Amino acid sequence: MKNTIAERIFDFLKNFPPFDVLEKEQLFNIASNVKVTYIEKDSFVFRQDELPHQNFYIVKDGAIGLYRTMESDHILIDICDEGDIFGLRPIIQNDHYLMSAKANEETVLYAISVEILKEIIKTNEKANKYIIASFSSNIKTPYAKTNNGQLFANVNSLETNNAFSEVQTAQYSKNPITCLKNATIQEAALIMSDKKVGSILIVEDKKPIGIITDKDLRLKIATGIISIDKNVSKIMSFPVITFPEKITIAEAQIAMIKHKITHLCITKDGSPNSELVGILSEHDIVVLHGNNPSVLIKELKRSKNVETLKYVREKSAELLKGYIEQNIPITFISKIISEITDAITIKAIELSITEMKTEPPVKFSWLALGSQGRKEQLLITDQDNALVFEDVSEENYQKTKNYFLELSQKITEKLHFVGYEFCPADMMASNPKWCLSLSEWKQQFNSWITKPTEDAIMLCTIFFDYNFVYGEKELVTKLSKSIFKSIQSFEIFLNFLGRNALKNPPPLGFFRQFLMEQDGNHKDQFDLKSRALMPLIDAARLITLSHNIKDKNNTISRFHKLAKIEPQNKDLYLSCADSFKILLHYRTEQGLKNNDSGRYINLNTLTKLEKLKLKGCFKPIKDIQDLLNIRYNLAQMM
């Protein structure tokens, strides 16, 4: 006799993970043993701290709210709708429920014995992987104190993924060759020759204070510039860059690229004020694997033409694809790709200067804006840049500006050849509006801040995320000081900036459905950039500005800094950072897959699990926007 109820349950479950990967017999066995349960509105399925049931649940119809009780507050963490599983973790881990599950409306649940599932996942590898992934990717307790505010546990698991060499601990030399600071250069050179090494560390009280390399001896001694009987302090490089013993290959690569050095000192606590225990050279890393960012940077330094820059950019795209495929932490990927992008830009500037008839007439700085300025530009997108030059007399102004406009034109054309498209809105240093003297830039920012029109606020969201790439950094420092001075004198500007940050509503509608584009070329698609990434970017920028923080442009770094400054909101800020990591990783993955910017997503191409992971990132967005609304009295400005 047919079991029609079991068949209906079978037909429902087969559409949702992990049931969609089960063998037909396995799934029918589960369907035949399902208990159909009706839950009235506001009734509890289970309560926080209660011992686990023998069943976990999947929502057939209706909605179940998951609530976390913290002190006297009952916080809605998530809502489970059709196809969502809940109540599984405590059973498998033999732990109490961390949340309460209450029906937000009349709901029909399927209760499934965990013992049946346990038997099946022993023999079904795909189902087993799903269960593991569900625990590591969506724990549904974003602000749990015991979870250190980590919304997604897989962020941490990726950080310690020892299967990938870049996140392994680097193997450094534990017997560094050293000499004392009162030694002569000749004595140091003899030690290097005797030990057959290319560098020697200068120490004082067992602490590293400087380093001499073969390059120093060639450029400063062999040329006769400095006498070999002088003290080592005459040619040593200082201060040294130090790291703790557990430095990863990734950290080492980034540090060497950033500081343009080839050696790192390893000390007991990672600071230059503790005992030297080893040295890590670029060669040590290259030996581990030749295809690494350091090799690409070296090619850039040696390059004589723009074709080499394009080659390196294409190689970096391959590097990015490999990192994404191997699920490497997005923070590592961002740093590496950003350093390569900056290095390409610097070389493009240097090549362009050599093409000019004369050297730059005054000091200048090249600024990266937008996503490149935040070091979040992973996919190849259009250019956003600006140039600031030193103030000059009125009679020399036009000649000076014309020089930098011509230089900027050469630079932007090279970057375009390399693969970075011209900005459609012409927000580039080759535009006279964005190639200005220091005083002009100060006046421009002051005007935007004190006269916050809609266009001015829009420009602020782009230009406030500038990052110094090349030239005279002091010009940028002075500009930053001027900007913060203007903000402090016109604090209501932050309220206008806050209102702009709330233009994009949370990504989910009232019924937890994705908010889709209603018209245009991307009708019925989900705008991952505007709906999910930009609200987090805007919130981090606004709150950072309000705290007068000048040295943080990256969104993740901003949230981490805010977590330290505002411990009462630490869990929220860390959850925002984790959400941003996953969303940025996902956008990059989609962009590589579809050969586009990854901005717009056709939800029909996503699995149920992918949709669940995205939804899991959206809770902090709503909460951070609620915080902005209250803090900046934005309801009164709407």
Quick check: pTM over 0.75?
no
Q: What is the CATH number of the domain that holds 14?
A: 2.60.120.10
Distance (Å, whole) CA 208 – CA 181: 10
**Mean pLDDT, to the nearest integer, of 9-37?**
87
* Angular region, 633: left φ>0, alpha ψ -120 to 50, beta rest: left
Regarding predicted confidence, which is higher, 431 or 328?
Answer: 431
Strands 107-113 and 55-61: antiparallel
My answer on whether 119 and 206 are in the same domain is no
Q: What is the pLDDT of residue 306?
A: 93
Residue 270 resides in a domain: yes
Q: At what angle do helices 330-355 and 570-594 cross, to 10 degrees?
A: 60
Q: What is the CATH number of the domain that holds 257?
A: 3.10.580.10
Choosing from 289, 317, 336, the residue where a domain stops is 289
Task: Please say if the pLDDT value at position 287 is more than 60.
Answer: no
Total domain count, the chain: 4
Among 28-42, 76-90, 588-602, name the most confident range. 28-42
- Are 599 and 528 a contacting pair, CB within 8 Å? yes
My answer on whether 467 and 326 are in the same domain is yes
Q: Which helix (H) or strand (E) holds 315?
A: helix 306-325
Q: What is the pLDDT of residue 547?
A: 92
The share of the chain scoring above pLDDT 90, in percent, equals 39
Q: At what angle do helices 534-546 and 570-594 cross, to 10 degrees?
A: 140
Strand, coil or helix: 363: coil
Residue entry with tokens 């969303």: 583
Beginning with the edge strand found earlier in the chain, give each strand of the sheet holding 242-243 in spatial order: 242-243, 263-267, 276-281
Distance (Å, whole) CA 265 – CA 280: 6
Task: Please say if the pLDDT value at position 596 is more than 50.
Answer: yes
Per-residue pLDDT band for 94 (boundaries 50, 70, 90) equals low
Residue 155 resides in a domain: no
- Give per-residue pLDDT as tens, 473-518: 999 999 999 999 999 889 889 888 888 888 777 676 544 567 776 6
Angle at 570 between CA 569 and CA 574, to 5 degrees: 120
Which of 30-39, 301-310, 345-354, 386-395 has the lowest average pLDDT? 301-310
My answer on whether 364 and 471 are in the same domain is yes
- DSSP letter assigned to residue 184: B
My answer on whether 125 and 50 are in the same domain is yes
Residue 164 resides in a domain: no
Query: CA 357 → CA 349, 351, 407, distances in Å?
Result: 14, 12, 10
- CA 278 to chain CA centroid, Å, is 30
Query: CA 69 → CA 48, 96, 527, 576, distances in Å?
Result: 7, 14, 33, 21
Q: What is the CATH number of the domain that holds 462?
A: 3.30.460.10
My answer on whether 397 and 302 are in the same domain is yes
**Mean pLDDT, to the nearest integer, of 571-596?**
89
Query: CA 72 → CA 68, 69, 262, 377, 585, distances in Å?
Result: 10, 7, 55, 42, 36
- Give per-residue pLDDT as tens, 205-264: 999 999 998 888 888 888 888 889 899 999 999 899 999 987 877 677 767 767 778 889
Residue 630 resides in a domain: yes
My answer on whether 122 and 237 are in the same domain is no
Distance (Å, whole) CA 78 – CA 617: 11
Residue 160 resides in a domain: no
- Give per-residue pLDDT as tens, 118-155: 777 667 766 665 554 444 333 333 333 333 333 233 33
**Mean pLDDT, to the nearest integer, of 407-415?**
97
**Mean pLDDT, to the nearest integer, of 565-582?**
92
Q: Which helix (H) or strand (E) holds 131?
A: helix 125-137
Per-residue pLDDT band for 388 (boundaries 50, 70, 90) equals very high
Which of 327-331, 420-424, 446-450 has the lowest average pLDDT? 327-331
**Mean pLDDT, to the nearest integer, of 74-95?**
73
Q: What is the pLDDT of residue 168?
A: 52
Give me the domain span that covers residue 551: 491-638
- Are 439 and 329 a contacting pair, CB within 8 Å? no
Strands (DSSP E) contained in 399-471 are 435-437, 467-471
Distance (Å, whole) CA 621 – CA 576: 7
Regarding predicted confidence, which is higher, 597 or 135?
Answer: 597
- Dihedral angle sign, alpha carbons of residues 23, 29, 35, 38: positive
Distance (Å, whole) CA 95 – CA 622: 30
My answer on whether 480 and 506 are in the same domain is no
Task: Please say if the pLDDT value at position 636 is more than 70.
Answer: no
My answer on whether 511 and 625 are in the same domain is yes
Distance (Å, whole) CA 415 – CA 409: 10
My answer on whether 209 and 176 are in the same domain is yes
Distance (Å, whole) CA 420 – CA 430: 14
Q: What is the pLDDT of residue 130?
A: 58
Q: What is the pLDDT of residue 70?
A: 59
My answer on whether 482 and 501 are in the same domain is no
Distance (Å, whole) CA 471 – CA 440: 18
My answer on whether 337 and 467 are in the same domain is yes
Residue 219 resides in a domain: yes
Residue 143 resides in a domain: no
Choosing from 246, 267, 289, the residue where a domain stops is 289
Q: What is the mean pLDDT of the chain?
A: 83
Choosing from 289, 321, 337, the residue where a domain stops is 289
My answer on whether 462 and 317 are in the same domain is yes
Regarding predicted confidence, which is higher, 595 or 524?
Answer: 595
Residue 529 resides in a domain: yes
Q: Which residues have CB under 8 Å from 142's CB, separation 6+?
A: 77, 149, 151, 571, 575, 619, 620
